[in-house]
């Protein structure tokens, strides 16, 4: 007899297990990279399917019985094919679709029903609804886990959308689910290993703020100035462009702040005593350039802690850093124009194929 009731605990536990397995430490999740790690799953875009079959997108949607995406199973080869609509305007919808199909895969819906397709016309309404509910529940706990949202005290739709990369509808439904659960006396917790993996993410939520001038989101604890542009005006209405993602900078040793290799001559002998490259003399520690004189008339850095290798301004006083002053980092306005040009070139290349 086919199962007609959704198993919520099974879907939730599968999502938490997947978060642990793939060592998730930040959100949004790179779902395509995760799916690509499974040797028995192949991913294909609707646009690619249309090109290969020499037909229209509408015909591909009809073939797959879904506007968003579908997962097919070949029992003979024990292989899966996930096809998704890459032409949809809202990427959050694609993101959710891929996680939804991933849920079908991990929950073994094809094998328990012995079907190659989970389309509505392939089974009874009750059977179809049970599996759809489970896959959606999996997607919720995988993409925007309610325990993480509850423990981070995120109670704003916009922030959930920004931090987890989900749509307004998904954020609203998840927040409503958390509120209903609290009213029933349920409390949310994370296993210790998952909590430890997400410490940096929780720091983002706790200390993160968005610069009003450059729109960068940074989360250096107790910062008073933007590490990107030096502005002291912030807001916390929504999460801007992630500073570490869009401005990677120079990789430094977290313990002593030294560049792992000299950014000028590429010398990797940087653990020798001192803050300068032993080959070309470049200053390889990113510090605040705000100087003051001591009683002997000697200059010293007022903000003494070495800064991350992508900081262009000191988050404590707003002054330029040594990496910016010495030309090892470009001004944020220049870096942004370079990124814009790169994105335009990518769009042009994509449209030319």
pLDDT, one tens digit per residue, over 334-349 is 988 887 887 677 655 5
Per DSSP, the three-state class of 14 is helix
Distance CA 310, CA 25 (A): 20
Q: What is the DSSP letter of 241?
A: E
| pLDDT reported for residue 147 | 97
User: Looking at beta carbons, which pairs linking 293-298 to residues 24 or more positions away fall under 8 Å?
Assistant: none
Domain-by-domain residue ranges, the chain?
A: 8-186, 199-244
56: Cα separation from own chain's centroid: 32
> Which residues make beta-bridge pairs with 209?
218
Pull the structure tokens for residue 202. 């929780």
Distance CA 293, CA 298 (A): 5
Pull the structure tokens for residue 168. 């307004």
Distance CA 235, CA 239 (A): 9
Of 3-7, 32-36, 231-235, 316-320, the range with the lowest mean pLDDT is 3-7
Q: Which residues are within 8 A (CB) of 205 and not within 5 positions of it... i.e. 6 or more apart?
A: 152, 153, 154, 163
Pull the structure tokens for residue 74. 């070949």
- Mean pLDDT, the chain, integer: 90
| pLDDT value at 135 more than 80 | yes
Distance CA 230, CA 27 (A): 26
| pLDDT reported for residue 117 | 62
Name the residue among 34, 51, 26, 75 with its Cα closest to residue 353: 51
pTM: 0.85
Residue 219 burial (CB count, 10 A): 19
């Amino acid at each position: 007899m086919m199962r007609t009731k959704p198993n919520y605990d099974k879907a939730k536990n599968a999502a938490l297990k997947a978060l642990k397995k793939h060592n998730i430490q930040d959100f949004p999740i790179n779902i395509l990279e995760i799916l690509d790690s499974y040797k028995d799953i192949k991913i294909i875009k609707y646009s690619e399917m249309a090109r290969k079959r020499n037909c229209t997108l509408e015909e591909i949607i009809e073939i797959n019985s879904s506007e968003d995406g579908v997962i097919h199973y070949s029992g003979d080869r024990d292989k899966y094919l996930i096809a998704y609509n890459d032409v949809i305007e809202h990427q959050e919808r694609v993101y959710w679709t891929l996680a939804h199909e991933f849920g079908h895969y991990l929950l073994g819906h094809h094998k328990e029903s012995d079907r190659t397709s989970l389309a509505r016309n392939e089974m009874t309404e009750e059977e179809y609804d049970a599996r759809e509910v489970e896959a959606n529940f999996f997607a919720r706990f995988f993409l925007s886990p309610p325990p993480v949202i509850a423990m981070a005290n995120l109670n704003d739709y916009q922030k959930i959308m920004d931090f987890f990369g989900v749509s307004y509808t998904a954020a609203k439904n998840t927040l409503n689910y958390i509120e209903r659960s609290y009213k029933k006396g349920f409390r949310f917790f994370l296993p210790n290993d998952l909590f430890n993996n997400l410490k940096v993410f929780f720091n983002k939520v706790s200390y993160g703020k968005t610069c009003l001038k450059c729109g960068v989101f940074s989360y250096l604890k107790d910062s008073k100035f933007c590490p990107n542009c030096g502005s002291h005006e912030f807001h916390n209405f929504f999460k801007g462009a992630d500073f570490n993602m869009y401005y990677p900078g120079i990789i430094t040793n977290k313990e002593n702040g030294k560049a792992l290799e000299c950014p000028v001559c590429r010398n990797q002998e940087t653990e020798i005593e001192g803050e300068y490259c032993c080959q070309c003399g470049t200053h390889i520690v990113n510090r605040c350039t705000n100087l003051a004189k001591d009683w002997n008339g000697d200059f010293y850095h007022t903000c003494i802690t070495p800064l991350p290798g992508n900081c262009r301004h000191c988050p404590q006083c707003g002054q330029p850093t040594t990496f910016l002053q010495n030309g090892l980092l470009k001004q944020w306005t220049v870096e942004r124009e370079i990124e814009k040009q790169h994105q335009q070139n990518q769009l042009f290349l994509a449209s030319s194929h």
